[in-house]
Amino acid sequence: MNDVKIFFGENTYKYLLRAFRIPPPGGVSWYTVPMDTGNGLTLVLLVDDDKDILEVYKIKLEQAGFRVVTALDGAEAIRLAVEDHPGLILMDMRMPIMNGIEAEMKLKENPTTKDIKVVFLTAFSDPSNPAVDREKAREIGALDFLEKNISLDELTEKVRGYLKQ
């Protein structure tokens, strides 16, 4: 088993510690995560404009035995979905160039990608009515809608469940 050091900017680091319930490592600006170097069988495409969040999710899903590719916006996600045909796409809703909603609509229009399962994973939800975002996601064909403050273990279990559906 290898160790991977993840470096974060101060604000992103504080957000990730809170969001992923990672205990602070004694005031240093890195956190060491054990990484399983085995190859997984199921490909998951992670799409988010925040590189730090992509890296954390990628490491956790790779530890769980998945192969993971990443994209920074919806346009890149569409290109990778056509090329690699992942079993699941976890996609942020709000990104530059092409947001997740636009990307999901284009994926559903394309016969090559229309059956790929998509789950929105976002930090932006209407706190007074999160059902609105969830309903919007399902209306355009997404399998589910998750908030980014989900624990990494719960996210991994949900990914396994989505892939079995």
| pTM of full prediction above 0.85 | no
- 19 pLDDT band (50/70/90 cuts)? very low
Mean pLDDT lowest among 20-24, 122-126, 129-133:
20-24
pLDDT of residue 73: 94
Q: DSSP string covering 94-125, please?
A: S-SSS-HHHHHHHHHHSTTTTTSEEEEEES--
Mean pLDDT of 143-157: 88
Q: Which is higher by pLDDT, 125 or 135? A: 135
Which amino acid does the sequence have at 21? R
| 27-61 per-position pLDDT tens digit | 444 433 333 333 435 899 999 999 998 999 999 99
Mean pLDDT lowest among 99-103, 116-120, 122-126:
122-126
| 133-161 residues labelled b (16+ CB within 10 A) or e (exposed) | bbeebeeeebebbbbbebebeebbebbee
CA 58 to CA 43: how far, in whole Å? Answer: 11
| 90-109 per-position pLDDT tens digit | 999 888 898 888 999 999 99
CA 162 to CA 165: how far, in whole Å? Answer: 5
pLDDT of residue 157: 93
Residue 77 clears pLDDT 90, i.e. is over it = yes
CA 98 to CA 75: how far, in whole Å? Answer: 6
For helices 100-109 and 74-84, give the axis angle rounded to 10 degrees.
Answer: 30
All structural domains of the chain: 37-164 (3.40.50.2300)
Mean pLDDT of 127-154: 76
- Our CA dihedral for 130, 132, 135, 141, rounded to 10 degrees, sits at -100
CA 158 to CA 66: how far, in whole Å? Answer: 13
Residues contacting 29, CB < 8 A, separation 6+? 7, 8, 10, 13
